[in-house]
């Protein structure tokens, strides 16, 4: 039979896990994350465009960087569909 202290420890572990899950959820939906993704993608694409000697790399890098951020923003929509209709179990 579990002891009271053992149960309290388990409850604390669950609470800590829930705090971490909530923080992860907050990060996944934050504008900070979206801005970081955009910035890093923009830099990477700009470097590639310079290396490939494509015209106007600073301007032309905006479209793929924005598209990537938009695609990451649509993932929760598709995740919900997957959870509702496609997940097995």
The DSSP secondary structure of 1-61, one letter per residue, reads: ---HHHHHHHHHHHHHHHHHHHHHHHHHT-HHHHHHHHHHHHHHHHHHHHHTT-S-HHHHT
Q: Where are the domains of the chain?
A: 4-86
Query: How far is the C-alpha of 29 from the C-alpha of 66, rounded, in Å?
Result: 16
Residue 2 pLDDT: 76
Per-residue pLDDT of the chain in tens (89 residues, 90 and over written 9): 778 888 999 999 999 999 999 998 888 889 999 999 999 999 999 999 999 999 999 999 999 999 999 988 888 888 888 888 887 75
CA pair distance 29, 35, nearest whole angstrom: 11
Instruction: Give residue 50's pLDDT.
Output: 96
What per-residue confidence (pLDDT) applies to 22?
A: 93
């Amino acid at each position: 039979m579990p002891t009271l202290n053992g149960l309290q420890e388990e409850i604390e572990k669950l609470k800590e896990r829930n705090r971490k899950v909530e923080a992860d959820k907050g990060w996944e939906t934050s504008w900070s994350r979206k801005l970081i993704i955009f910035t890093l993608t923009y830099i990477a694409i700009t470097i590639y465009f310079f290396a490939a000697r494509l015209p106007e790399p600073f301007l032309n890098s905006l479209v793929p960087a924005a598209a990537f951020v938009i695609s990451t923003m649509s993932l929760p929509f598709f995740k919900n569909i997957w959870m509702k209709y496609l997940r097995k179990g």
